[in-house]
């Protein structure tokens, strides 16, 4: 195995580790790190780590702790540039130097202004061999949420929608189970890999949802629940409010919502933030996402139905979409799942591509990925 192949293999391992932290490391990125020594022409892994829940400890220090003295003279693959600033912990770049590692393979430069090349500079100035860009696109996909937060001042958004074979998401005034059991399980797994689930107040009023991860053993991985609610119409007795001390509930409301109304929700344990209104006199999605990013969120799963999905398409804030299609028809008038704006956006090959299609129970699941 040549050196370039070894670098890619170790980086793939680091990326697998990084994915373990998705949904649990915000506001920090989720990073994977692998340390190895060479035994002839074969790499021997001596340490590995990934960012722990809450964002600390960092992947690099986890890997170094596992490697111990075996880190001296070793190489490290890391999915994002090691940090260079003094925060709650010393810089990882300095820890790598102190551990005696002689070579670092880094997938991406960290765009955070506190780092932005500084970590790589610390390593190079200490005499380490530094290689940047190995599996960069794969690493970007893993940390797209963090990159969006830093560069675009908003979290990454994954849109989830389900439709019948004839294109309907439901029926007005009636709950309709469109997705199969297997598809529902996939959605719960998707929830666990995001920082937050977001819906509009219409979903709360119609369904009174829990918005938690209800697969066995996964309730602790339930993310923040976010409600977009222009006039703060969320019922105080709904499940999202009643359970907010167990699973956090945040509400984004309009600028004119009375202070006393907001205070009542805050006393109940709900976090309430204000955002600007758009021309349609509803919450401006870009401003709302900016507010959520300022609170640290990096990855949001939108489960708010066709109205919110259409608004997101028109606001150009969708990064990926998961469209579940049932083989069964509604065979009557219903709520159209993919409205004109969303349909046009997802069908525009210059903006989105179908990255892959899978079978989910009886359903078909199309994954759409944004091209930029």
Residues belonging to the active site: 60
Rounded Cα gap, residues 248 and 314, in angstroms: 28
Name every residue whose Cβ is closer than 8 Å to that of residue 79 and which is 6 or more positions away in sequence: 11, 14, 15, 18, 31, 32, 33, 59, 107, 108, 139, 142, 143
* The token pair that represents 249 in the structure block: 């509930």
Helix (H, G, I), strand (E, B) or coil at 22: coil
Phi-psi region of 55 (alpha: psi -120 to 50; beta: other; left: phi over 0): left
- Of 259, 252, 256, nearest in space to 224 by CA: 252
Distance of CA 114 to the CA centre of its chain: 22
- Of 344, 351, 352, nearest in space to 310 by CA: 344
- Of 10, 62, 61, 6, nearest in space to 34 by CA: 10
The Cα diameter of the chain in Å comes to 70
Q: How far apart are the first and last CA of the chain?
A: 34
Helix (H, G, I), strand (E, B) or coil at 241: helix
Apex 94 CA angle, 92 and 97, nearest 5: 110
User: DSSP H helical segments within 193-305, as ranges?
Assistant: 201-207, 239-242, 259-267, 285-294
Q: Hey, how many other C-beta atoms are within 10 angstroms of the C-beta on 123?
A: 26
């Amino acid at each position: 195995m040549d050196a370039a192949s070894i670098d890619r293999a170790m980086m793939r391992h680091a990326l697998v580790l990084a994915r373990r932290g998705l949904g649990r490391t915000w506001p920090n990125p989720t990073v994977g790190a692998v340390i190895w020594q060479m035994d002839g022409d074969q790499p021997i892994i001596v340490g590995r780590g990934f960012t722990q829940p809450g964002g600390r400890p960092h992947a690099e220090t986890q890997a170094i702790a596992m490697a111990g003295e075996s880190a001296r003279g070793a190489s490290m693959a890391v999915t994002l540039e090691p940090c260079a600033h003094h925060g709650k912990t010393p810089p990882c770049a300095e820890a790598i130097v102190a551990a005696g590692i002689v070579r670092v393979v880094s997938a991406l430069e960290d765009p955070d202004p506190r780092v932005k090349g500084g970590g790589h500079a610390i390593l190079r100035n200490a005499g380490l061999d530094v290689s940047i860009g190995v599996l960069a696109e794969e690493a970007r996909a893993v940390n797209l949420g963090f990159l969006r937060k830093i560069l675009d001042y908003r979290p990454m958004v994954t849109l989830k929608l389900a439709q019948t074979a004839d294109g309907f998401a439901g029926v007005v005034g009636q709950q309709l189970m469109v997705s199969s059991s297997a598809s529902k399980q996939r959605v719960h797994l998707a929830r666990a890999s995001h920082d937050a689930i977001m819906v509009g107040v219409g979903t709360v009023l119609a369904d009174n949802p829990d918005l938690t991860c209800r697969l066995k053993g996964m309730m602790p991985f339930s993310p923040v629940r976010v409600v977009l609610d222009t006039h703060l119409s969320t019922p105080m007795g709904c499940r999202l409010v009643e359970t907010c001390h167990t699973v956090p509930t945040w509400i984004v409301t309009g600028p004119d919502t009375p202070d006393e109304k907001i205070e009542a929700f805050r006393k109940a344990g709900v976090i309430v933030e204000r955002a600007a209104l758009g021309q349609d006199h509803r919450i401006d999605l870009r401003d709302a996402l900016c507010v959520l990013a300022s609170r640290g969120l990096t990855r949001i799963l939108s489960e708010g139905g066709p109205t919110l999905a259409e608004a997101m398409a028109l606001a150009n804030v969708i990064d990926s979409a998961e469209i579940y299609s049932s083989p069964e028809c509604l065979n009557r008038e219903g709520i159209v799942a993919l409205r004109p704006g969303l349909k046009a956006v997802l069908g525009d090959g210059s903006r989105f591509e179908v990255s892959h299609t899978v079978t989910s129970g009886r359903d078909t699941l199309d994954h759409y990925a944004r091209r930029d």
